[in-house]
Structure 1
Amino acid sequence: MDRHIQVLPDKGAIIQTALQLILERAQAAIAQRGRFTIALAGGGTPKPLYEALAQQSLPWDKVWIFWGDERYVPPTHPDSNEGMARQAWLNHVPIPAEQIVPMPTDADDPAIAAQRHNQQLLDLFQPPAGTMPSLDLILLGIGDDGHTASLFPHSAALTVSDRLVTVGNKDGQPRITFTAPFINQAATVLFLVAGASKQAALTEIFSDTGDDAVYPARLIRPQGELWWLLDTAAAQGVPSLL
């Protein structure tokens, strides 16, 4: 694992650094393989990043969009990660519709939706039997509790290792989420973390002795590059960063 931690002055600097990292990796992937695959994160932190990406001049016909997790609501719902990304970015650039691959949230049973999306990804990438595909870049954040994607502390999703997609659970509310092993196949994983409320979780995530079940972001140890972009408010007081 190739880990990089950058402490930046503020959220704006996180966004600018993330934008450059994404553009560089998109251009490299398209040059090497003819396409760039990226999984998006939800929440407030990446929204200005998506707005900035909407202003770029990438070869959009070679970009494929996925999501690392999704709340179990329709895409028109205010809490939808898909809806936010479409409004901020995807509705403003000419990515072919079939290359935007949201997580389904229309089944009566979230487990059925997760199984359907798992099969959709396998059909699309067609990895060799017994292996998982590798996305070029996965964007992630963390919660104050140390969760990432919809991998929440002490939840059953943390132990799923034979699928790309599973059901997450937040206080009884179902989510659809990539599994930790699938995230770890990525060429690049990029965490965006802002705010003083993240200090306690970051201390445990970066600790040599932290508990993966309590702070699930610790499970993210990709085969490729791991980037942590932190603002000074989030990094302040984290012992390993002092």
Structure 2
Amino acid sequence: MAEFTIEKRVVISSDPAALADSVAVRFLHRVAKRTAAGNDMHVSLTGGWMAAAVLAAIAAHPRRDRVDWSRVHFWWSDDRFVARGDAERNEKQAREALLDALPGAHTHAIAASDDGIDLDAAAARYAAELAQHPQVDGTPWPSFDICFLGVGPDGHIASLFPDRPEILVTDRAAVAVRDSPKPPPDRITLTRPVINGSKRVWLVLAGADKAAPLGLALAGASYATVPAAGAKGRKRTVFFVDDAAAAQVPPELIDGEY
């Protein structure tokens, strides 16, 4: 019998729209609380249709204008190495859904293919920018207050795909990905130590095709084979899911209060 890890919790919404609204409300509450106390905040964004829905829900919420966005730094867990204006860019998706409407917010975008540098140099540049916001112990990347992640049907997170060398990298903050199993082929991704250095990891997923990878992640599958199983925040790891994705979730892991 599989042993389920107690530190991973699941919050269920009825459908994708309700899921996006639920995550948006929680995010705005946490950002407002931290910035009102005079603290800066670092947030890592992700791509995908569900991530876009969450950002759009944040943009539409009336509480959005009560936040001091000048204290918030936005990063990305990964991006596609295509031209900056390409619709495949996670950065473009996030700017259109939310970021362009936030006055004073700091954005730390991953380099694009038309920035005049190659893939490896772009990964090194992103790692260097992360290192400008070190943790108090000198770790050369910020500890994200919230790291958003999606989960693919194959269990991938960011651009860390199953049974690929990138998921095993521990000595760099960001790495180049070539011949990605999901197009486009060239990408840049954060490594697992950076993701797991986050205070809170929020994985947001919807749809019946996510039930199997969610079940494997909760059951403690090998992170090399199911990268989502290896995502873990220092304080909290929460899977925000809809009913369709929750088909294989054990009742004891469902959190009705978070």
The alignment's TM-score, normalised by the length of structure 2, stands at: 0.85
Aligned to 1:59: 68
Q: Mark the CA change 1:155 to 1:127 in structure 2 (over 3 Å): closer, same or farther.
A: farther
Contact 1:187–1:224 (Cα < 8 Å) also in 2 = yes
Question: Considering only aligned residues, what root-mean-square deviation do their CA atoms show, in Å?
Answer: 2.0
Aligned to 2:134: 125
TM-fit CA distance, 1:174 = 2.0
Query: What is the alpha-carbon distance in structure 2 between the residues aligned to residue 126 and residue 107 of structure 1?
Result: 30
Please show how residues 205-220 of structure 1 align to structure 2 within 5 Å.
205-208=217-220, 210-220=221-231
Q: Does 1:178 align with 2:190?
A: yes
Please show how residues 144-183 of structure 1 align to structure 2 within 5 Å.
144-169=153-178, 170-171=180-181, 173-183=185-195
SS in 2 for 1:124: coil
Q: Does 1:36 align with 2:36?
A: no
Q: Does 1:195 align with 2:207?
A: yes
SS in 1 for 2:33: helix
SS in 1 for 2:8: strand
The alignment's TM-score, normalised by the length of structure 1, stands at: 0.90
Contact 1:107–1:113 (Cα < 8 Å) also in 2 = no
Q: Does 1:46 align with 2:46?
A: no
Contact 2:134–2:140 (Cα < 8 Å) also in 1 = no
Count the aligned residue pairs: 238
Q: Does 1:240 align with 2:238?
A: no
Q: Mark the CA change 1:224 to 1:131 in structure 2 (over 3 Å): closer, same or farther.
A: farther
Of the three residues 207, 230, 237, the one matched with 1:226 is: 237
Query: What is the alpha-carbon distance in structure 1 between the residues aligned to residue 38 and residue 146 of structure 2?
Result: 14
Of the three residues 151, 160, 169, the one matched with 1:142 is: 151
1:13-58 Cα offsets, whole Å, 9 max, x none, are: 2111111221122123224452221111101112122122223112
Query: What is the alpha-carbon distance in structure 2 between the residues aligned to residue 126 and residue 240 of structure 1?
Result: 36
Query: What is the alpha-carbon distance in structure 2 between the residues aligned to residue 10 and residue 29 of structure 1?
Result: 29
Query: What is the alpha-carbon distance in structure 1 between the residues aligned to residue 38 and residue 176 of structure 2?
Result: 31
Letter in 2 for 1:240: P
Query: What is the alpha-carbon distance in structure 2 between the residues aligned to residue 230 and residue 47 of structure 1?
Result: 15
SS in 1 for 2:172: coil
Contact 1:29–1:136 (Cα < 8 Å) also in 2 = no
Query: What is the alpha-carbon distance in structure 2 between the residues aligned to residue 241 and residue 167 of structure 1?
Result: 39
